[in-house]
């Protein structure tokens, strides 16, 4: 009986000491996950500017600009997927103007071809005068984006070049709720080029083209290689270098790098995209030089 009691005590003791060890191992695993996740939360030490949309919600501009790493410039989104208006856009523009922050506008390009003229890229024949009326061949998708942009953007309240944001979702045809039929890269480049021509006629300068490195290399190069490029590349210490068919010395040299979508900045309650100038670009590179 005593032997059985002794064995029972030994078993209970081993269980008692093993449980904390298991909890400790689990706590250590959770801690490692938190540390790994935290690596994507980038401080603003290398930041020149930010781009914002409704996702940043209520921004305290006074707090943001008092910080040690306040942005030199801000880009605000005027429209998102499917030409939907960004509900914070006008608020952000007015706040930036009030606080004296250089501000510009970017539009998210979405293919929208329903009931509009479709033209083959090989038949491109466009001549741009001072307004969009000077374009002899124009796609409906480009024209509707341009008209919406003109309707929503007050040039007098901003001083930075406009930006066309082209990403993976840009090849989704929201008029038919499906992916564009192949070769959508061919029509996409054509539509973006026409839109860029319309904006150039409006501003007197070429707009900035924004995309991520993979998408640009696959769908936009080399058509826009000589445009001012703003390229996103996350979780990398190396500046973006999109591939192109053009040989050196016509290598693609972006002017801006969006290096994180997980930036943390005082006054902004949510993560924010952070950007920096590269390849010798400065504020003068993105500033509008022709006044409207």
pLDDT tens, residue by residue, 58-106: 999 999 998 778 999 999 999 877 778 889 999 999 999 999 999 999 9
pLDDT tens digit string along 9-62? 444 444 343 333 333 333 333 223 233 333 345 666 789 999 999 999 899 999
Instruction: Tell me the C-alpha to C-alpha distance, in Å, between residue 45 and each of 72, 191, 267, 271, 283.
Output: 13, 37, 16, 15, 18
Token digits of residue 120: 């083959």
Pairing of strands 178-179, 208-212: unpaired
Q: How many CA atoms lie within 13 A of 136 on its CB side?
A: 5
DSSP 196: H
Do 272 and 52 form a contact (C-beta atoms < 8 A)? yes
- CB 275 within 8 Å of CB 257: yes
Q: Of residues 119 and 59, which shows the higher confidence score?
A: 59
pTM: 0.74
3-state secondary structure of 229: strand
């Amino acid at each position: 009986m005593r032997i059985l009691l002794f064995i029972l005590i030994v078993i209970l003791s081993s269980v008692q000491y093993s449980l904390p060890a298991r909890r400790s191992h689990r706590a250590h695993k959770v801690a490692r996950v938190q540390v790994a996740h935290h690596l994507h939360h980038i401080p603003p030490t290398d930041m020149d500017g930010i781009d914002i949309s409704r996702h940043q919600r209520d921004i305290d501009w006074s707090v943001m600009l008092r910080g040690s790493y306040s942005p030199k410039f801000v880009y605000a989104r005027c429209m998102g997927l499917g030409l939907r208006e960004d509900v914070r856009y006008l608020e952000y523009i007015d706040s930036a103007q009030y606080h004296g922050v250089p501000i510009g506008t970017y539009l998210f390009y979405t293919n929208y071809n329903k009931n509009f003229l479709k033209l083959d890229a090989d038949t491109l024949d466009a001549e741009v005068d001072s307004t969009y009326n000077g374009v002899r061949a124009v796609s409906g998708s480009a024209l509707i984006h341009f008209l919406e942009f003109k309707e929503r953007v007050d040039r007098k309240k901003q001083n930075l070049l406009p930006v066309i944001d082209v990403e993976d979702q840009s090849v989704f045809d929201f008029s038919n709720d499906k992916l564009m039929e192949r070769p959508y890269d061919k029509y996409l480049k054509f539509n973006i080029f026409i839109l860029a021509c319309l904006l150039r006629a409006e501003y007197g300068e070429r707009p900035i083209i924004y995309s991520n490195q993979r998408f640009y290399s696959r769908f936009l190069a080399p058509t826009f290689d000589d445009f001012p490029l703003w390229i996103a590349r996350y979780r990398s210490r190396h500046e973006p270098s999109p591939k192109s068919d053009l040989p050196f010395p016509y290598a693609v040299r972006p002017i801006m790098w969006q290096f994180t979508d997980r930036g943390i900045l005082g006054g902004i309650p949510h993560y924010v995209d952070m950007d920096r100038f590269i390849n010798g670009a400065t504020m003068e590179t993105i500033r509008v030089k022709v006044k409207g």
